[in-house]
Amino acid sequence: MATTALTPTPRPIDVLNAEAMPEEVSQGKVILQRFLRHKLAVIALIVLATISVIVLLAPYIAPFKPTELRVGNYFLPPGSVADDGRVHWLGTDNIGRDYLSRLIYAGRISLTVAILAQIGSSLLGIVIGSISGYVGTWVDPLVMRFVEFMLSIPQLPLLLIISSIIIQYREALQLPAPLANFISWLLIIPTTETTQVVAIIGIFIAFGWMGDSRLMRGMVLSLKEQTYTEAARALGSSHWRIIFRHMIPNAMAPMIVSASLGLSGFIIAEAALSFLGLGIQDPTPTWGNMLSIAQSSMLQIPWLPLIAGTPIFICSLAFNFVGDGVRDALDPRLKM
């Protein structure tokens, strides 16, 4: 009996094409996968998230209030027990305040100042840089010469001069009551100290937008010659619509990287101003002024400056690692 060979059943063409096509992956998933491959960036992000949770829960985690002091309990060693049974896990400072509690509350203020200053300077730099690059004519040279002039001036002495002036006349600079109350609630500080915090953020924004504006201008100069920009002009879109709907969204990748890397700079700048006595003043705790207070006693207690200096170092390093990871994740030349 003759055997007949089994012939495969023909399959539809669309089924074969569907199997041959690779699975579609969203852009967000691609960026996330690239970021997760950067192990140091992931670890740094976990560290920053942990620190953020701790400082946000400061009223519930800190064993003491940041301004609570005990007469005679000066420079207690770590692990000392107070009269009421509470433990000074990191000891006390020169007037008997718990160091761990002040460190937690200080992180809330230092990180908030750095984040708000970075957001403000990035937004200002994005708007000015995009307008300068898109408009061109006499606006672009004028803005860029001003930026280059400001960048040529040493920033730290100028920050010190302006900060000292604001500190001397801060009573004349009063914030609206709703804004002062909101900042006081957010940072857990007296409303009398809110003017000083806002002034420091304003100083950082005023001197921090120049680099972002140059970066945005360079991106806009290349984007405004693209085909979709010419199509938007042909369809009658206004210049403002083209800038805010096409230029800025398509140039955000390098701006996000710049912002993530710039956060560490603002943390160090705030610490430097407070360390020199021209930033946020005691008794409002920041990592910088805690470091300044510890300076006078570092010969007798050499480990004391490390308590405030360690979180500055950790956060600055973590922000740099996260910035590196974001840069790699947003790089279109990087292969999966």
CATH number at residue 218: 1.10.3720.10
Q: Which of 294, 291, 264 is nearest to 275 (CA)?
A: 291
Q: In whole angstroms, give the CA distance from residue 197 to residue 185.
A: 13
Asked, for residue 12, whether it belongs to a domain, the answer is no
Are the CB atoms for 246 and 269 separated by under 8 Å? Answer: no
What torsion do the CA atoms of 37, 267, 300, 85 make, to the nearest 10 degrees?
Answer: -80
Cβ 51 vs Cβ 114: under 8 Å: no
Q: What is the pTM of this model?
A: 0.86
> How far apart (Å, rounded) are the C-alpha atoms in residues 71 and 87?
16
Nearest-angstrom CA–CA distance, 308 and 320: 19
Specify the amino acid at residue 113. Answer: V
Number of domains in the chain: 1
Amino acid at the residue 303? W
For residue 296, what are the domain limits?
A: 30-330
pLDDT in tens, the chain (336 residues): 445 555 555 555 555 454 555 556 677 788 888 888 889 999 999 999 999 999 999 999 998 888 888 777 888 888 888 888 888 888 888 888 899 999 999 999 999 999 999 999 999 999 999 999 988 888 889 999 999 988 888 887 888 888 888 777 776 677 888 888 888 888 888 887 888 888 889 889 988 999 899 999 998 988 888 888 888 888 888 888 888 888 888 888 888 888 988 898 999 998 888 888 888 888 889 999 898 888 878 888 888 888 889 999 999 999 999 988 888 888 766 554
Q: Is residue 227 part of a domain?
A: yes
In Å, the largest CA–CA distance within the chain is 110
CB 129 within 8 A of CB 212: yes
Distances in Å between the Cα of 244 and the Cα atoms of 116, 218, 220, 239 are: 22, 16, 11, 9
Kindly state whether residue 175 falls inside one of the protein's structural domains.
Answer: yes
Q: Is residue 20 part of a domain?
A: no
In a domain, 286, yes or no: yes
H-type helices in 192-226, by residue range? 194-208, 210-223
Flag whether 150 is in a domain.
Answer: yes
* Residue 16 forms part of a structural domain: no
Q: Is 317 within a domain?
A: yes
- 279 phi, psi to nearest 5 deg: -105, -140
Residues 6+ apart with CB under 8 A from 68: 97, 98, 101
| Per-position DSSP letters for 41-74, written without gaps between them | HHHHHHHHHHHHHHHHTHHHH-SS-TT-B-TT-T
pLDDT recorded at residue 336: 47
